[in-house]
A = this chain, B = another copy of it.
Amino acid sequence: MCPSNETPGSEGELIRLFKDLFESDSPPADLILGIGDDAAVFEPGADPETRFVVTTDMLVEDVHFRRNIHSFYDIGWRTAAANLSDVAAMGALPRWGVATIAVPSNVTTHDIMEFARGIRDAMSEHGAWVIGGDLTRSTDKISISMTLIGETTIRVLTRSGAQLGDVIAVTGHLGASGAGLALLEAGDTKVSEEIGDAVVGKHLRPDARVLAGQVFANSEGIHAMMDISDGLGIDLGRLCLASRVGARVFEELIPVSDEVLKVAEALGRDHLDFVNSGEDFELLVTGDRKAVESAARILANESPGLLVSIVGEIIDAPFGINLARVDGSVINPSQLGWDHFRRSEGPGE
C-alpha cells in the first residue's frame, strides 16, 4: 500500500505506512515496542528491570472539545486523562508529562493557567508530574498536545496478545461519557439533575484506570489490554486486528448504568450509541476466564465499587466482531468494529 495523493486514509492504513517508514531499518536493541499500540516501550540498557512507556495525544478545538461546552480546566483534565489512560492500558505507572498548547489571541493568561491546573490535577490523582511544555500562538483555533512517560518493572500488556477462547472483559460502565456529552450538546435538562450530573461528570472528569491496568498486567492469564478511547466497537476491532482474532459480544453483558439508559430514553437514542461514542477511558482486556475473575476480585478489594464485566469471547473469525443483541438479532461486523457503531468523526487514537 503506497502513500497516495488522496485524503488521508483510515487510521489503520496510516499506521501501517508509518510502521513501514519508521521501522524499516533495524530498530535500536532497547526499543521493545514501536508504533501501533497504546504506547511505545523502551528499556534502557543499563537497567533491564525498568521499562518506559511513552504515549502522545493531540486535541484540537471544535474537533475534540468545544469552548461553549468545555472549560479550560476541563480541557486540561481531559488532555491528561487521555494520556493517563494510554499509560494505564500498558499496565504502567504514569510519571512524567509534557504539554504544548497553541492559543489564538482571545485566550487569556487566566485561561491558560486554568488549562494547566486541569492537567496538573488529573496528573496528581496518579502521582504523575508535569515537567515541561511549550506555549505558542495560533492564528485561529486552540490545539493541544501532550506526551506522557510511564514506568513499569512488570511486563507491558499490548493489544496484540488475545487468544482463542479468551473471555473479553471491560472495567466500569460504558457510555456515560457519550451520554454526558449528548446532554451537554442538547443544552437543556431532559433528565433529573442527579442523573445529569452523574453522566456529565463522567464526561468532564474521566479517570484513568491506572490501578486496574497494573493489576491486569500482574495477572498471568491476562493476554491483551487496551483502553477504550474511541468506543467498545472500534477499539475491540483494533484489538482483534492486532491479535488476528475475532470477537463475539453479548449486548446484555455490556455494563451500562441506569443513568445512561435514562439519558438514552430522554434523548430518543440507542444506548449503544453512547457505548460506542468513546472517551469512557475504561480498560478492555482479554484472558482466561479464571484470570479475569481473579483480577476482578483483587480490584474489588483494592478499588471498592470498580466493576469488571465479562462481555464476550474471542473467536476464530479473523478481525470480525459479532454483537448479539438482546432482541435475538446479530449485527454483522465490519472489519474494524460495527458500522452501526462507527462515528464519522472521532478523536485520534
Residues of chain A touching chain B, judged by Cβ–Cβ distance below 8 Å, are 3-9, 11, 13-14, 17-18, 21-22, 25, 27-28, 31, 34-35, 39-40, 42, 44, 46-47, 49-50, 52, 54-64, 95-96, 98-103, 105, 107-110, 112-113, 116-117, 120, 124, 127, 129-141, 143, 145, 147, 149, 151, 153, 345, 347-349
Question: What chain B residues lie within 8 Å of A149 (beta carbons)?
Answer: 54, 149
Question: What chain B residues lie within 8 Å of A141 (beta carbons)?
Answer: 138-141
Question: What chain B residues lie within 8 Å of A143 (beta carbons)?
Answer: 58, 60, 102, 138, 143, 145
Give Cα A102 to B62, complex, Å: 12
Q: Are B40 and A98 in contact (CB under 8 A)?
A: yes
Q: Are A134 and B348 in contact (CB under 8 A)?
A: yes
Give Cα A139 to B116, complex, Å: 24
Question: What chain B residues lie within 8 Å of A102 (beta carbons)?
Answer: 58, 60, 63, 143
Question: What chain B residues lie within 8 Å of A153 (beta carbons)?
Answer: 46
Looking at the assembled complex, report how far the CB atom of A254 sits from the nearest CB atom of chain B, in whole angstroms.
27
Give Cα A139 to B141, complex, Å: 8
Q: Are A7 and B60 in contact (CB under 8 A)?
A: no
Give Cα A100 to B7, complex, Å: 18
Quick one: given A44-B47, A60-B102, A139-B141, are A18 and B133 in contact (CB under 8 Å)? yes
Quick one: given A105-B7, A108-B4, are A56 and B98 in contact (CB under 8 Å)? yes
Q: Are B47 and A108 in contact (CB under 8 A)?
A: no
Looking at the assembled complex, report how far the CB atom of A5 sits from the nearest CB atom of chain B, in whole angstroms.
5
Residue of B nearest to A347 (CB): B136
